[in-house]
Structure 1
Amino acid sequence: MRVIAGKNHGLRLKMVPSKLTRPTTEKVKEALFSIIAPYNKPGIVLDLYAGSGSLGIEAVSRGYRKAYLVDHARPAIEVIRNNVIATKSPENFEIIKAPASQAIKQFFDNQIRFDLVIFDPPYAKQHIVKDISSLTEYNLLTEHALIVAETDRSGFNSLNSNLPNGYTVLSKKDYGITYLTVMERD
């Protein structure tokens, strides 16, 4: 796995050693960033189920100012730390070991708002609609913030049939067993 574009183009990233994680393929990562490119603004990113940190690192490599990389698993946090160090710009990242709901509350307490939120949870643990509702309730999204969700088919169907009010779907695409939904806050 590597960074595809930007200032860290070609940087090889470590992966979380687990059969339970499924890293985003380079094809899906490239598609994701191509879809959001027209809406891209150099703001703050939240990678809420960061795994290896690959998607947040890619966003910073492509011009976002800072990424908050959240995961609750110790092995993931260790890999994220190593990958962030490899970027040679650790000041552009904040690593948080916490469950998503706890991290969201922490962001509210610290009044941190996001321009891009990336959801790539394990397929068996998808609570994206609930997480989006929490981000909205706590006012953690900037005006016209983008939300990207990488899911399986059931997560895709759940998300698209239960999307909270105040969001416009910009793109829905499938890549085999992986589905991408890109939304904008109205």
Structure 2
Amino acid sequence: MRIIAGEFSGRHLKPVPGRKTRPTTDKVKEALFNIIGPYFDGGRALDLYAGTGGLGIEAVSRGMSAAYLVDRQYAAIKVIEENVAVTKAEAAFHIMKMSAARALVELKAKEILFDLVLLDPPYQEQQIVKLLNKLRDMALLQPEALVVAETDVTVLYPEITGFTLLGQHQYGITEVSVFKYIK
């Protein structure tokens, strides 16, 4: 695994040991960012199921001002800390060891708004619609924020109030869906 493009391009990232985390492959990560960017002019990113932190790190490498990296596993947090250190830009990252639900409550209390949200929950917990509704109802999104969801290809989305589905792209068993928040 590596950082694909931008300021930190080519730097290698460590994986989380064991099988509890499924890192986004470089191929999917590159495709995902080519769809939504590929580069940004500031803004905040939220990587809600960060795992290795690779998606949030990639977002900052490509121009986001800051990324909030959330994971509840101790092993993942240790790897995220090591991967963030590789960037030598630690101040751009906020690492939160907690559940996604608790993180959303804390971010709401701090009135932090996001321009980009990256959702890659465990495939067996396909809760993307629930998470989109929470992000909207908790007012955590900037107008026209993008939300990228990585799921398996079996997930179907109903119409979700406040969001437009911009597109879906399949990569083997993985599907990347891009939503735009319409306030």
Does TM-score exceed 0.5, indicating one fold? yes
Q: CA deviation at 1:20?
A: 2.6
- Mapped partners of 2:163, 2:125: distance in 1: 22
Q: Taking every aligned residue pair, what percent have the same amino acid on both sides?
A: 51
* Contact 1:118 1:148 survives alignment (8 Å): yes
Q: Which TM-score applies when normalising by structure 1?
A: 0.94
Task: Report the counterpart of residue 132 of structure 1 in structure 2.
Answer: 132
What are the within-5 Å matches in structure 2 for residues 164-183 of structure 1?
Answer: 164-183=160-179
Report which stretch shifted further, 134-143 or 30-39: 30-39
- Mapped partners of 2:18, 2:53: distance in 1: 15
Q: Which TM-score applies when normalising by structure 2?
A: 0.96
Corresponding residue SS for 1:17: coil
- The verdict on how the C-alpha distance between 1:56 and 1:38 changes in structure 2, with shifts beyond 3 A counting, is closer
- Mapped partners of 1:62, 1:145: distance in 2: 16
1:85-128 CA distance string (max 9 Å, x none): 11100000000011001000000100000000000111112222
Report which stretch shifted further, 126-135 or 113-122: 126-135
* Contact 2:13 2:83 survives alignment (8 Å): yes
* Contact 1:35 1:171 survives alignment (8 Å): no
Q: CA deviation at 1:170?
A: 1.1
Q: CA deviation at 1:41?
A: 4.2
Work out whether 1:78 is the aligned partner of 2:74: no
* Contact 1:44 1:114 survives alignment (8 Å): yes
Work out whether 1:63 is the aligned partner of 2:63: yes
* Contact 2:46 2:68 survives alignment (8 Å): yes
Structure 1 ranges of 4+ moved more than 3 A? 38-41
Q: CA deviation at 1:72?
A: 0.5
Q: CA deviation at 1:153?
A: 2.1
The letter of the residue matching 1:107 is L
What are the within-5 Å matches in structure 2 for residues 31-180 of structure 1?
Answer: 31-37=31-37, 40-154=40-154, 156-157=155-156, 160-161=157-158, 163-180=159-176
- Mapped partners of 1:63, 1:180: distance in 2: 21
Runs of at least 5 residues in structure 2 that lack an aligned partner in the other structure = none
Q: What is the root-mean-square deviation in Å for CA atoms of aligned residues? A: 1.2
Corresponding residue SS for 1:32: helix
Q: CA deviation at 1:69?
A: 0.1
- The verdict on how the C-alpha distance between 1:41 and 1:95 changes in structure 2, with shifts beyond 3 A counting, is same
- The verdict on how the C-alpha distance between 1:38 and 1:85 changes in structure 2, with shifts beyond 3 A counting, is closer
Query: More helix by proportion, 1 or 2?
Result: 1
Question: How many matched pairs?
Answer: 182
